[in-house]
Amino acid sequence: MPRFRPRLLLPLLAAVALSSCEYAKLLRPSVLKQLNPRVVRLVNELPRVDDPNEEVVARLFAHGGLGHAKAGADGVLRATVRIPKGEYMWYPAIIVMPRGGELELDFYNEDPFSYHAAFLPNVGNRHALFLPVGTRGRARVRLDQPGLYWFGCPVANHVQRGMLGLIMVSGEVPAEAKLDRPRQPRH
């Protein structure tokens, strides 16, 4: 008669419990091969965004993905943003800056049919960059404080079609800039 081994029971129970769990279903090879690296980076970054903004960010930017601005030798942060052929979307749609400062964005309009523009946040006044069909343009903006900064394409109805982006500036908010109120309930 076989002996009962309690050591084997725990992994078996865990496997049974996880098989009905939604997260375990994500681990199937057919699902894993569909994961887009841009979307994975976005999903991994969202927990760092506060609750009210996370919901907005998650809904608006799932397809454009997320990119991180990298510091150059001169200390300026840089990122590249593409507009693919036939798509009204920034790639990446979210750019994360590790700190405030200067950000240089290199835009590529790969769309041979549509004129685009980037209306960007900046300390003081907004900055506009025009991107005719199949061109490249560079814009340098300054974002000194941590927070969320929106940018978009002001041409026709491009924002409504998906050309809305976000720059997330990481860092600690100074004490004098923080709101002095309890966390608000969400419905």
Nearest to 105 by CA among 55, 141, 132: 141
Confidence band of 6 (pLDDT split at 50, 70, 90) = low
Q: Looking at the domain assignment, is residue 25 inside a domain?
A: no
Q: Looking at the domain assignment, is residue 24 inside a domain?
A: no
pLDDT of residue 130: 96
Q: Looking at the domain assignment, is residue 93 inside a domain?
A: yes
**Domain carrying residue 146:** 34-173
Q: Looking at the domain assignment, is residue 20 inside a domain?
A: no
- State yes or no: pLDDT of 177 exceeds 50: yes
Query: Are 162 and 63 contacting, i.e. CB atoms less than 8 angstroms apart?
Result: yes
For the chain, the domain total comes to 1
Q: Looking at the domain assignment, is residue 9 inside a domain?
A: no
CATH number at residue 150: 2.60.40.420
Q: Looking at the domain assignment, is residue 166 inside a domain?
A: yes
What share of the chain has pLDDT > 90, as a percent?
42
pLDDT tens digit sequence for 89-114:
899 988 999 999 999 999 999 999 99
CB-based burial of residue 98 (10 Å sphere; 0-12 exposed, 13-18 middle, 19+ buried)? middle
Q: Looking at the domain assignment, is residue 150 inside a domain?
A: yes
- State yes or no: pLDDT of 141 exceeds 80: yes
- The average pLDDT across 154-161 equals 87
Query: Are 48 and 66 contacting, i.e. CB atoms less than 8 angstroms apart?
Result: no
Cβ atoms within 10 Å of 28's Cβ, excluding its own: 10
pTM above 0.75, yes or no: no
Q: Looking at the domain assignment, is residue 103 inside a domain?
A: yes
Q: Who's near 172: CB < 8 A, 6+ residues apart? A: 146
